[in-house]
A and B are shown apart, each in its own frame.
Chain A
């Protein structure tokens, strides 16, 4: 059996287990999606609708209005947020949204935005906890994330045994998520883009897509094994630029069709409740919308908590507020832009939409207004994919480090496995890759959310006490010096 066949059959088994579904009104509802949405709804209510009350404070924090001037030179709120966002903004925002709309119609957008807004509360909870329970090592480096708050937070509540078990499961799933959604899916979709711009099915690379995978693996390997920081730095600097370019292109497409905007927005609302030709009707649209939002903004999965925990702050709650902006940027802004572009150009109506797959659909949408844009999009996809791979390789490495006590051999084994899957991802078909990625990524939410529910009281007291101290004036803004 070759590795790709082996992967496909393994993926099928894992997927059916993770996505155990129930039938509702003819649509299949995976219980794991319900799990994430309930968490979002719970923390929204539990934290008293911080999505509505907190954004101003969050933005002030990012602007450094509460930062101690003596901390200049440390990791700022902006940097922690930007790092987390660059791991999150990726193909989920381009390919994932296209898939959601081709399956669930324009109405899926409505549910996607709602899921994004609910996800803000979950993200706030997990990132605050990541900072609160992070480990500061003797050499000044910082490690944080769900592994640490599950283990140490639950131990404080006399549930040390459960905490350790959850932390270990979380770390294992995060390694799986890093290899799957953070790596294979990225390499798969980036390869598809490169094949498409080099001539589609007639391209030499179409039958030899592993070559593209190999190039990716070499570049990623140079960063994560070779420690070549310059590649990572260049990517980190180009990605925000590409994100701005991408949004600008969306706006241009929307402006070119501005008379159709009201209808598109109308379609999103009517499609959310009474969709036409969508399997499972409104429930079907809701399911794909929620599923793609969760995959894109990662709220409840705990991954971003690792990136956010590097920030320099004395108040863990501050990073909770800042992290809340992440699902907003990712889902409510960027995913919605992609969705509008696809709906307004009618690209999703293509009868071959499902076969074309994610990026191709988005690419078609842009092509109607900006014929040259597919090439830029291909470049954007490749860069987004690459930066997401770098972020997730880091997450996977931290998880490996947690499991094996920062054993260097174990971390190197992880890196090699990671790169092998980069190549497999480029050669495998989209379906099994998406299924495997989703399963692994969603599994992370099980130990993470169990822990957050048990510690919900701490989450609320830390966040509301900080919020109240800001409101009462006890926590003051730093005087604008100069």
Chain B
């Protein structure tokens, strides 16, 4: 069974991307891997007490993302009756999605056009455009 990776966040466009992916997955017999990346960089500056609590904080971030973001998306896949897997990872969103797609031998990457942070994208470019530039497999950008 071939695998497709879908990058998700808590935006409406992300919901449409998952619906689009699940629809195609039904016809093509794909497995859907739903990925949410929590933006994080190893090169940020932190305080000593933030560092002390970082491990617990990371755990909380993962739990929150699983419950609030991935759970509703996974429901769409469940209803569509396609095999699915959910992943939460910290990192730079575009790079992490590409890494995960590589690890899973994905044949296709599907994302929404805009993420949930409009201003940052206006300055640094969107995750979708980075994926389109760097991916080694076809990328579908859902409007």
Contacts and interface: CB of A to CB of B under 8 A. Distances in A.
B98 A75 contact: no
Nearest to A392: B48
A339 to B, nearest CB: 26
Contact of B47 (A74, A143, A236, A395): A236
B42 A310 contact: no
Contacts of B61: 73
A75 B90 CA distance: 12
Interface string A446-482: 0000000000000000000000000000000000011
Given A72-B40, A73-B58, A233 B47 contact: yes
Contact of A74 (B43, B48, B54): B54
A389 to B, nearest CB: 12
B59 A78 contact: no
A78 B47 contact: no
Contact of A79 (B45, B49, B98): B45
Interface stretch (A15-23, A134-142, A191-199, A276-284): A134-142
B47 A83 contact: yes
A34 B96 CA distance: 51
A64 B43 CA distance: 10
Interface in B69-98: 89-91, 95-96, 98
A67 interface: yes
Chain A facing B: main interface SS: helix
A82 B51 CA distance: 11
Nearest to A241: B45
Interface of B: 38, 40, 42-56, 58-59, 61-62, 89-91, 95-96, 98-99, 102, 134
B7 to A, nearest CB: 14
A240 interface: yes
A303 to B, nearest CB: 11
Contacts of A311: 51
A73 B52 contact: no
Contact of A391 (B38, B40, B48, B89): B48
Contact of B102 (A75, A391, A482): A482
B112 to A, nearest CB: 21
Nearest to B42: A76
A332 interface: no
Contacts of B55: 74-75, 140-142, 312
A141 B45 contact: no
Contacts of A390: 47-48
Contacts of B54: 74-75, 310, 312
Contact of B42 (A67, A229, A232): A67
5 contacts: A64-B42, A73-B90, A76-B42, A142-B55, A310-B51
Interface string A114-141: 0000000000000000000000000111
